[in-house]
Amino acid sequence: MWEDGDLLMGDDDGLVCVPFADVEEVYGKAKSKYDAEQAQLQAIAEGTNDRRWVLASLKAKNCPIPGQ
């Protein structure tokens, strides 16, 4: 349910309602996530995206890694 002043956003995946009192906090977190994703896309485009953390994380969790 939504109330006057709430922020409604939607796309092909669904709809989200942010209560007016939470808009500033949610916007700040969403902006930080967006900025990080844009930086990662830029690093991918430049061929500088560091993904070593993925293998390290898998090893730390004792996940089987084919070919290793």
The answer, yes or no, to whether residue 68 has pLDDT greater than 90, is no
> Would you list the domain boundaries of the chain?
7-61
Indicate whether 67 pLDDT > 90.
no
pLDDT value of position 1: 84
Q: Which of 2, 4, 54, 7 is nearest to 27 (CA)?
A: 7
Question: In sequence order, which residues have a C-beta less than 8 Å from that of residue 33 and are 6 or more positions away?
Answer: none
What are the tens digits of pLDDT across the range 26-50? Answer: 999 999 999 999 999 999 999 999 9
Beta bridge partners of 14: 11
- Alpha-carbon distances of 56 from 51, 53, 60, 63, rounded to whole Å: 9, 5, 6, 10
For residue range 4-26, list pLDDT tens digits in order. 999 999 999 999 999 999 999 99
Q: What is the pLDDT of residue 24?
A: 96
